[in-house]
Structure 1
Amino acid sequence: MSNNSNGLQTVTIDLVLDRRSTTEVLTAVLHAILFHRLFGTVKPTAFEVQDITVPGVDDADMRQLISEKVNAFWRAIEVSSTKRGQIAITFSERRVRKGWFSLGGEEEVPWEQWLVNIEIRQPQTGQERNLASTLTKALHTMLNHCSSEAARAAVPLITNSHGISPFPFKIVVKVNGVEVG
């Protein structure tokens, strides 16, 4: 985890996957991040990936959003020569715009970003064990961050309890540094 000068906390998860497991693992990882950071009324679900139980969000809109982003990543990676990409989830809060010439209104100010760096490689001997280890490490990163004092302190005051998330969030998919989907 790192902080930038604006106080935005950044959590990085590095995944090395084979073609066969990419969509399943990315779906589970994105669900797990959202499960830990939505703060609204979340109905839990679970994903079984490589005999590892991963928490998720049982919500039709979230399932569709995650599916769209994972599919956009997959389509872009299929035609890419480097087989590397990133999915970023940014959580923001709405604040009243301040300034001399502002016309009022609100602005979204990011408070936390999750960067999931993905590299696709050919399967190798022992790949399933490596995949399980990679997924376990990703889950440990999530749990360690979300349970840390710094992560709890970064969460803005929750003033809206309607819906699945009191905070706006955005999921951006990049392959070779270019936004896709």
Structure 2
Amino acid sequence: MSTTHPVITLDLVLDRHTAKDVLRAVLHSILFHRLFGTVKAKTFEVLDVTMPAVDDEATEQLVDQRVDTFWKGIEGGVNKRGQIIVTFSEKKPKKSWFLVGEEEVPWEEWMINAEIRQPTTERDRQKFNADLATALTKSLKTMLTHTSSETGRAAVPLITVAQGISPFPYRITVKVNGIEIP
């Protein structure tokens, strides 16, 4: 698949106890760094890692819904791997001979590859949680590095509409075993 927009990949290995909280925190952190409207901030504390979040009811509902969809898809399958993809787009005039309208053209995509594993002993759990905290810190650093880099800033189209929480449409999709789950 050829893309002209940046695709940022975050790889996470999760356990059943913290998976939903970690995924919510990561999604909120991505949105916090990429919603350019008036955003009220809050934080998530996950495994002693403080992550920024968006304090907006509609955003929280969307994130919760997509995390629940991911969890149900993972729970029902044999393969405990999946993806949550956040796509930011801009609306452009549709280029066609006979049709007039707009189309959404992606300008950035965040791909969260998540795998569920279960530690068996208490010692394994402690190491697992430490590794997951490190992965969360690395994910947050990736977000900060990308969004503040020249590439990350150049990916953002001109903001022409300044209403609402985001001047750009965004979509969160869930895939399990390569199949998109509605």
* TM norm. shorter chain > 0.5: yes
Q: How does 1:36-115 map to 2 (within 5 A)?
A: 36-99=33-96, 101-115=97-111
Work out the CA distance in 2 between the residues paired with 1:8 and 1:104.
25
What amino acid sits opposite 2:181 in the alignment?
V
The Cα offsets for residues 57-107 of structure 1, whole Å up to 9 and x where unpaired, read as: 0000000000000000111111111100000010000111223x1422111
Work out the CA distance in 2 between the residues paired with 1:108 and 1:102.
18
Aligned residue for 1:159?
A: 160
Aligned pairs, number: 177
Q: SS state of the match for residue 29, structure 2?
A: helix
Shift of 1:5: 4.9
Superposed structure 1 runs of 4+ greater than 6 Å apart: none
Aligned residue for 2:133?
A: 132
Work out the CA distance in 2 between the residues paired with 1:19 and 1:102.
51
The Cα RMSD (Å) is: 1.2
Work out the CA distance in 1 between the residues paired with 2:43 and 2:118.
28
Unmatched 5+ stretches in structure 1: none
Work out the CA distance in 2 between the residues paired with 1:177 and 1:93.
25
Aligned residue for 1:16?
A: 13
Aligned residue for 1:122?
A: 118
Q: How many percent identity over aligned positions?
A: 57
Unmatched 5+ stretches in structure 2: none
TM-score, normalization by structure 2: 0.94
Work out the CA distance in 2 between the residues paired with 1:102 and 1:118.
43
